[in-house]
Structure formats: structure tokens, C-alpha cells
Structure 1
Amino acid sequence: MGFKVHSLEAADNKIKTKEKKKKKFSFCFSFSSFDFGCSASQRIKNEYRHILRDRDPPTHCSGGPVNYSDDLFRWNGVIMGPSNCPFEGGIFFLSIVLPKDYPFKPPVIRFITKVFHPNIDKSGKIQLDILRKKRMWTPALTIIKTLLSICSILTDPDTRDHDSNPISAMYRTNREQYDKIAREWTTMYAME
């Protein structure tokens, strides 16, 4: 885009000026139609603005750039452990790296907080179809929608494709033991 953003207000002013000149809505502003001229940084700014202004934000997750003025492509995310599961009461932090061709490719998201879960490995990598299978990702997805999908697997793990995963096997065959260990990890790593 050719300008350095020093604040959200400056970004708003630049985008509003550009919007007035173009007088059209594109994918990066409305999420409803494609405009291949939309840059990743414009889309990311718009998503962040939406998060900040949302009057009815998701209750279990949020995110934002680590440093808005220096790098829009590196975000931190947070997920509050959903109710009625071993993760309840936990605060889980995530690293989100957006590719330069976002939203046409998915972000790379990893848990920073340790989690005992069939779809999350030791390094925090998340086994979620929209993140690992390119054909499952769509530019209509946003960072928040992706975080909501991650919240969903916390309460409803996908254990179909993970026969070699001992945590997945435990979830299917000894749910009581799985819940106990997942709760212990939540207490140890996600609660202060």
C-alpha cells in the first residue's frame, strides 16, 4: 500500500480516503465478494477493526496484532476454555502468523499454552482441517471464525484420522482418564 501505519486511527483515515476514491465495496471490506486487488494488509486491518468495534464479540476467543504499527502479520490469540469440558476456566494463548497472501491461504496457528488434546501436538500445532488442508480453507473465513473453530474442537475433538495418536485413542477408549489428564494440564498450564 505504500504507507506506514502508526495507529488504528491513521489506518482508518487512509482506508476511508481510499474507499471514497473507489466508491465500491470489495472483499477486504465486506467479506462478501472477491476483489483480487485487495491486499493482505488491507484485509488484516479490516478484520482487526471489526474485532475492536464488534458490539457482540465472541465470548471465548479474541486476537490482535502483536505490534500493530510494525507487523500486521503476527498476531496473538486467546481462547477461554469452554464450559462443561476439561478446559473450563483455562486461558489459552496462541501464536497466529498470517501469510503474505492471506486470506487466500490459511494462517499458521499454534497453541503457546500446553494443551492435552487429540488435535493439538506437543509443539502446539493444531490438527484442524481448515488449517492443514488447503482445499478446506476459504477466503470467507476470518481469524475470529478460525479461532471459533479451534474452540469447537476443544469440546468436540476429531478422533477419526488419528489412530496412531495415543491421546486420541485415550479419548475414544478411556474418556474418564482423558478428562482427568486434560483437566490437570489445564490447571497446571492455563490457570494462574
Structure 2
Amino acid sequence: FIDLARAYCSSKITGTSGQSVIGTHTSHSFGHSQSPRQERRLREVKDNPPYDKGAFRIEINFPAEYPFKPPKITFKTKIYHPNIDEKGQVCLPVISAENWKPATKTDQVIQSLIALVNDPQPEHPLRADLAEEYSKDRKKFCKNAEEFTKKYGEKRPVD
């Protein structure tokens, strides 16, 4: 989940790698001896409207060629955001094919995702209508995003 009020995320990790993933209380490395599907919670404390009324499930898929190819992030919970489309695909520069570097750590990707969600980049939209609304009428965008989050967001995890 990504609870953007506190930027609390629990992501479904698919695939295997030697990449370190920050868990709820400890760091954990995935190796080939482990199950390819793992659940992990990541936590950053913040209160950021308009997404503080719900949590968002994300999936991070590590391809077989990882770390030489970037992971793919998909929002499984609908979100009202100019950089995330209706299918949950994310426009995140750090994981684009052009910008990806094998040394990039999973926590850097997640921090970039949290930063993008909290600070949309309307100049690189996947949803032009929301980018225009965000640019021209921020108050309306925030109201619509908050209502959308209340309607479609998942219940926020409790500590």
C-alpha cells in the first residue's frame, strides 16, 4: 500500500534479485532461494493531502533481466493523478529505459515514486486532463483527488 498521508507503502514484490528492500522493521535481501513473491511494508512519515484519505496498493515487478532492466510499478488501486494512468501505469523517470541505472536501489525507486505522487509533474503527464486541471486550478484538482481517494482508496493500514 502507499498511504500517502504518511507515505506508508506495502508493495507486492514480484521476481528475485540481490536488491535490498527496506522492510517494516528490518532490511531484507531477496535471493534465488526465496519465493519470488514477497510482501513488504515501507514507511515514511508524512501528511500530504489530497491522498491522505486512503492507501494505494502498488505492485513492483522485477523482470528476469533485473538489475539491467528496470522494475515496473503498477498502481492496483485507482488514483487521481496526472502521472498515473487509468491502468495504473506510472510515468516515473528513474525507471524509464533511458534513465535506468543497474546500481539504482529499490528504496530510491520507492522514494522517487512517493515524491512524484506528492508533487505531480504536469509537464510529463499520462493523463493530460488531470495535468491541465492541476496546472490551472490546483484547488479543484486537490478537491477532486481527495474525493476520488475517499471513493476508491483502500483503508489506511494501522501501525
Normalising by structure 1, we get a TM-score of 0.61
Asked if structure 1 preserves the Cα contact closer than 8 Å seen for 2:82 and 2:127, the reply is: no
Letter paired with 2:109: T
* Alignment CA distance shift 1:97-1:84 (3 Å): closer
- The CA deviation at 1:79 is 7.5
Note the 1:66-145 alignment, pairs <5 A.
69-72=34-37, 82-131=46-95, 133-145=96-108
Q: Percent of counterpart pairs with the same letter? A: 26
Gaps of 5+ in 2: 1-14
* Alignment CA distance shift 1:42-1:121 (3 Å): closer
Larger RCO (alpha carbons 8 Å, 6+ apart): 2
- The CA deviation at 1:109 is 0.7
CA distance in 1, matches of 2:59, 2:109: 13
Give the number of the structure whose residues are more often strand, by fraction: 2
CA root-mean-square deviation: 3.1
* Alignment CA distance shift 1:178-1:116 (3 Å): same
- The CA deviation at 1:162 is 3.3
Letter paired with 1:95: E
Asked if structure 1 preserves the Cα contact closer than 8 Å seen for 2:53 and 2:146, the reply is: no
CA distance in 2, matches of 1:107, 1:93: 16
Asked if structure 2 preserves the Cα contact closer than 8 Å seen for 1:94 and 1:109, the reply is: yes
* Alignment CA distance shift 1:97-1:191 (3 Å): closer
Asked if structure 1 preserves the Cα contact closer than 8 Å seen for 2:84 and 2:127, the reply is: no
Residues 49-76 of structure 1: per-residue CA shift (max 9 Å, x gap)? x53624xxxxxxxx998xx84325x767
Gaps of 5+ in 1: 1-39, 55-62
Letter paired with 2:73: I
Asked if structure 2 preserves the Cα contact closer than 8 Å seen for 1:80 and 1:88, the reply is: no
Pick the aligned partner of 1:184 from 132, 144, 147. Answer: 147
Q: Which runs of 4+ in 1 moved over 4 A?
A: 74-82
* Alignment CA distance shift 1:80-1:115 (3 Å): farther
CA distance in 2, matches of 1:64, 1:189: 32
Structure 2 partner of 1:43: 18
Structure 2 partner of 1:53: 26
Structure 2 partner of 1:19: none
